[in-house]
Amino acid sequence: MEMRTRRTGKAGGFSLIEVLVAVFVIAIGVLGVGSAQLISIKNNQSAYYRSQANFMAMDILDRMRANPEGVQNGSYANIDTAAVNASPDLPGCAAESSGCTPAAIAAADARQWAANFSRDGNVGLLPGSSGTVVTQVVGAVTTVTVTVTWSESSWSDDPDGNGDNVDAGFAENTGRVSISARI
């Protein structure tokens, strides 16, 4: 009896070229996912800064709404956090039985609000931040504009604006929130 072996085809497997193509395709996919993740993180940080700035602006507006006499007598006019002596402490008059005057409350509000901003090496709630309050009185209506600015880094293909991308990298940008209200 004669044994015959029959070949059913060529032995299967992957060639090196197929493996390299598969690795290349997977690498491109991973880079795409990584890039999307990086953009998501950057946008998330920017949104966080913007929401913090909104909270900070609303904080001083709420303080002003709680002290309408201080607003009417101009105690909140032209506040600049860079020029205010920041302090989270209550004014001394808070412990007195007669209480505080609207002007003393406004001064304490400005000091407490300024303590949230960057100064003297402290980052504050936002990096490189400052705030201003400008009031405008027309008749019995006072319009208040609160502006909060901060610095944030973002990727730029052309930070110096000369049309090339040789110097691509992170550039400092200024974020800004401005809220106007009638009090």
Kindly report, residue by residue over 84-128, the tens digit of the pLDDT.
888 888 888 878 888 889 999 999 999 999 999 987 667 688 888
- The DSSP 8-state label assigned to residue 157 in this structure reads S
Spatial CA neighbour of 148 closest among 171, 179, 110: 179
pTM: 0.71
Low-confidence ranges of the chain (pLDDT < 70): 1-13, 120-121, 123, 154-161, 163, 165-171
- Provide DSSP, 92-119: GGGGSTT---HHHHHHHHHHHHHTTS-B
